[in-house]
Amino acid sequence: MAIKKVWIEEGCISDGICEEICPDVFAMDDDDMAYVKPDADFSANEDCIKEAAEECPAEVIKYEEE
């Protein structure tokens, strides 16, 4: 199954692990809150998206597969 949507729910604790694991998809804004890059290629980064979601201590990274 391919990932078609990735988002971050409220509750990010700004640890930056998602950006470390998957820098092509996740970044930190000026307030050190994680966000999904608007031009991110989900299909090329499926493994690291799933890893980032699993490793997120706040469990706020979500994705939807088709």
Instruction: Return the CATH number at 19.
Output: 3.30.70.20
Confidence (pLDDT) at 31: 92
Q: What is the pLDDT of residues 11-31, one digit of tens each?
A: 999 999 999 999 999 999 999
CB 25 within 8 A of CB 48: yes
Q: How far apart are CA 34 and CA 24, in angstroms?
A: 13
Owning domain of residue 37: 3-65
Residue 54: its H or E element: helix 46-55
SS3 1: coil
Number of domains into which the chain is organized: 1
pLDDT for residue 1:
84
